[in-house]
Structure 1
Amino acid sequence: MSGSDFLQLRAGEAPAKGLTAWLTEGLRAAITAGRLAPGARLPATRLLAGELGVSRGVVVQAYQRLVDEGLAGARTGSGTVVTGRGTALGSRPAGDRRRTLDELRLPVSAPDGVDLDLSPGVPDLSAFPRAVWLRAERAVLDRITAADLGYGDPGGTPRLRAALVAWLTRTRGVRSEADDVVVTAGVAQGLALVAHVLKARGVTTVAVEDPGSRGAADQMAFWGMAQVGVPVDADGMRIGDLVATGVGAAVLTPAHQFPTGVVLAPDRRRELLAWAAGGNLVIEDDYDAEHRYDRAPVAALQGSMPERVAYLGSVSKSLAPAMRMGWLIAPRPMQAELLATKHASDLGNPALPQLVLAELLASGDYERHLRAVRARQRARRDALLAGLREHLPGSRVAGVAAGLHLLVLLPGTADDVEVAGRVAAAGVLVQPLTWHRRRTGPPGLVIGYAAHPPDRLAEAARRIGSVLSPRRP
């Protein structure tokens, strides 16, 4: 058997163009089908290139794409080795493919045949800095004492709280001290803690953006908070409409609104701060603060009025959601109640990951990781944009300057749920903007790009274009 038999590809079948994508897809299929199991060594690049009749550079690029996707790794003395395992369509449980949708309680199932999940909110998990994390963890284990492994402060380890204050002050303009920080199991727990304290104070309704984060809304609803939608336009939440609701708390994503991508305009920020100064609470979800490409990031709202803003962030988009690590910086009159609630719920987050993150922040490794990830995500965004311009000319795209998703605006008469269903039938999973609305409004498609390499995003754009512009030659 030759070294390329596992691919079920033949040299005569190679396309005239797109050789790297052709070979990458063959390698992915071999991993998905189990012909290449984790630990299997890929053929030497010269050997495979010779058998397939392609240049060695094509094989090198294909192997690198597998590494970028977390399916393979380069090991000294062993060449390129399979490290991940794809999932064959039809072999996984029917509900597994819908994990992201189920978490958001979205009402539509993905049809069979979807092989490109472009749901927003899914980060590039293959970019997790394994070697850097391991090095930091070893450094932490060399230094920690027995006391560090006991029950600690429910607000988090002092080292991480201090490191977060330094980081957030420098990068987001947050104003706080270490004792103001509560380390949480992600933004979800932060929202739960705030909801609990608000309810205890008699606040049972919050304002939310419309359209807005379905996940955040579901979290607040689960903890018993009724919600009033406030319209979002090109300048962000309409603060006049917020004032008219009469509610005393509002959840916003002011730096990069989800899902439209707009930034809360300066005059709206001033109006919002004036509303907060009247005794109201802003709950600021800074969900993707690290991902800025074409403009300087807008400072966090918290820095302008820390006594009226509860600030939330996490490492879910910068490292991985499975880390379950975030932070909440709330007004000081709320902090004792928040800490008591946190202590009653879990006694505090695991100490070791907190100390490792503190090490990464203090050493500069976290910032170096973010720079690499930003460059990678910019390339992915650019590939999707270029594909949409080619296959969907004239389309209006919003939210491209930051974040991990963009919004394709559809004609006003389009049914975006029906369009998303047709796109899914073409193998690409996106979310209709309607899923994130409370009122009717302009239709659109919310498309995430973080989890796929540029060639797959170009293919996704081609398929989307074939659905929305089927008569294009």
Structure 2
Amino acid sequence: MLDGEGPLHRQVERGLRGAIRSGRLIHGSVLPPSRELAVQLGCSRWAVTQAYGQLVAEGYLSTRVGSGTWVSWSGRTSGAVQATGPVAPGSTYRFDLTPGIPDLRAFPRTRWAEAASEAARALPTADLGYPDAAGYPPLRELLADYLQRSRGAVAGAGDVVIRTGVRAGVAHLCTSLRAAGVDRIGVEDPGWTRLRDVIESTGVQAVPVPVDSEGLRVDALGRQQDLRAVAVTSAHQFPTGVVLSPARRLELIDWARRTNGLILEDDYDAEFRYDRSPVSTLQGMAPEQVVLLGSVSKTLSPAIGLGWYVVRGPWRKSLTRSIGPGPSTFDQATFAALLRSGAYDRQLRALRRRYQSRREQVVAAVRRELPGWSIDGAAAGLHLIARLPDGLAAAPVLAAARGAGIRLVALSGYRARAGEDRDGLVLGYGNLADGDVDAAVRSLARVCALVCESAR
């Protein structure tokens, strides 16, 4: 790298610039700490920091405290490269461990096509007109039956409203709540960031409420003045993976009854529990205080764009007013055919076996390759929490992982407020191929070893 021409910091600068331009250092590559590179080159640390600083100013490198220095220039001419963090070349990843995506390979293409064909043939001519805003009536009836037998909900066809997904349902509910004078809603912290964004987009304030090992802190919720609504993931909290404890379930329902409040229960992946039967819905315990939300995003595919909410009691009229258009009638009729035939139940049984096996694989690989780490969260859903050992921060791990082609998310990324507990990684395994599990965790272990070595 050093060519012997001029001051040492200029030699380091030219050497790095040349390596980047030639492609020997690719976009997203994480560079060694200045102290380590100085030792490797036999020069002063000052020379390296000066070179890094110059290349950052020129746009070849980017840096962030706690995340190191990485190559942000890719040589592409079509648009600027955002230097928000190192990414794998071409924005592709060898291993995607982000949560929330089901196994897209498992989508029942043939059965869906058959059901779509069946629905198109059987759909009455009258149903080809403008649809019922609340949803296709046969699907609402079938969903009410499914939610009662599988999730312990209390629902009739008239209580079910079909939407394009949970976010669309929350957006409509929050708009209706605001019109009814409710302009603040409690949200879990840490929690689903997109849900907070949806709530805020309606003009309703999302108020963070802490989560601990028993789920939502109902005592903290009660200290929020004039708060009459809260959104929870009670069966499997996202992202911590805890299940709302029996005592907290009763406390939360009592809070709603005392305040004439409303609970929005997001039942996003409750079908997937591996060590026991999943807990039933809060809605089944207090149907007039709880709105139950769900979708097929985790059980089939988010691309379908089909979800629902169930609302009863005194809130029903205000929360079902001015409903906009929902999903295509053909998609609703197709899903209805899957429910009617039992194909949806069979799909869920197959997915439970698949995800349980994959979770066990991930747990075994983490314990083998990352022995200082601990695993949190119920044996459920499509993700788990891998807690980092003391002395290892998430930010440099994420940065180095991107450079190595591994896509990760830190638990802290879901917090509205800074947490005091150990940070961790939210490892999603839903869309990770079984044959990639061991390789992905081994790659993560190598990344962590390099980060630890660089920090010495």
Q: Please, what TM-score do these two structures have when normalized by structure 1?
A: 0.74
The answer to whether the 8 Å contact 1:392/1:469 transfers is no
Aligned partner (choices 220, 239, 262) of residue 281 of structure 1: 262
Gapped regions of structure 1 (runs ≥ 5)? 1-88, 99-106
Aligned partner (choices 287, 291, 295) of residue 276 of structure 2: 295
Aligned partner (choices 435, 442, 456) of residue 455 of structure 1: 435
Shift of 1:423: 2.1
Q: 1:214-242 deviations in whole A, cap 9, x for unaligned? A: 11111111111212211111100111001
The letter for the 1-side match of 2:157 is: A
The answer to whether the 8 Å contact 2:145/2:155 transfers is no
Aligned partner (choices 74, 87, 108) of residue 110 of structure 1: 87
Residue 209 (str. 1) matches residue 188 (str. 2): yes
Find the counterpart in structure 2 of residue 130 from structure 1: 109
By relative contact order (CA 8 Å, sep 6+), the higher-ranking structure is 2
Aligned partner (choices 381, 384, 390) of residue 403 of structure 1: 381
Residue 221 (str. 1) matches residue 200 (str. 2): yes
Structure 1 residues 269, 111: CA separation in 2 closer, same or farther (over 3 Å shift)?
same
Distance in 1 separating the partners of 2:156 and 2:380: 28
Structure 1 residues 349, 240: CA separation in 2 closer, same or farther (over 3 Å shift)?
same
Q: 1:314-336 deviations in whole A, cap 9, x for unaligned? A: 00011110111001112333333
Task: Say which is worse superposed, 410-419 or 208-217, in terms of deviation.
Answer: 410-419
Q: Please, what TM-score do these two structures have when normalized by structure 2?
A: 0.77
Distance in 2 separating the partners of 1:232 and 1:148: 45
Distance in 2 separating the partners of 1:285 and 1:211: 15
Paired residues in the alignment total 371
Distance in 2 separating the partners of 1:292 and 1:464: 26
Shift of 1:90: 10
Aligned partner (choices 316, 321, 327) of residue 335 of structure 1: 316
Residue 388 (str. 1) matches residue 369 (str. 2): no
Distance in 1 separating the partners of 2:257 and 2:394: 39
The answer to whether the 8 Å contact 1:123/1:320 transfers is yes
Distance in 1 separating the partners of 2:166 and 2:299: 13
Aligned partner (choices 142, 158, 162) of residue 179 of structure 1: 158
Distance in 2 separating the partners of 1:118 and 1:153: 39
The answer to whether the 8 Å contact 1:391/1:462 transfers is yes
The answer to whether the 8 Å contact 2:86/2:399 transfers is no
Shift of 1:301: 0.6
Find the counterpart in structure 1 of residue 332 from structure 2: 354
Residue 434 (str. 1) matches residue 415 (str. 2): no
Q: 1:117-140 deviations in whole A, cap 9, x for unaligned? A: 111111111111111112222222
Distance in 1 separating the partners of 2:210 and 2:257: 21
Distance in 2 separating the partners of 1:115 and 1:338: 44
Runs ≥4 in structure 1, deviation > 6 angstroms? 93-96
Residue pairs, 1:223-262, within 5 angstroms: 223-246=202-225, 247-262=227-242
SS of corresponding position for 1:431: coil
Find the counterpart in structure 1 of residue 135 from structure 2: 156
The answer to whether the 8 Å contact 1:174/1:300 transfers is yes
Greater Cα radius of gyration, structure 1 or 2: 2
Find the counterpart in structure 2 of residue 193 from structure 1: 172
Q: 1:313-369 deviations in whole A, cap 9, x for unaligned? A: 000011110111001112333333333332xx32x3311111111111111100101
The answer to whether the 8 Å contact 2:180/2:318 transfers is no
Distance in 2 separating the partners of 1:287 and 1:375: 18
Shift of 1:110: 3.4
Shift of 1:468: 2.6
Residue 324 (str. 1) matches residue 302 (str. 2): no
Distance in 2 separating the partners of 1:212 and 1:435: 9
Shift of 1:109: 6.3
Distance in 2 separating the partners of 1:406 and 1:265: 18
Distance in 1 separating the partners of 2:316 and 2:87: 42
Shift of 1:465: 1.3
Distance in 2 separating the partners of 1:433 and 1:285: 19
The letter for the 1-side match of 2:257 is: A
SS of corresponding position for 2:155: coil
Shift of 1:401: 0.6
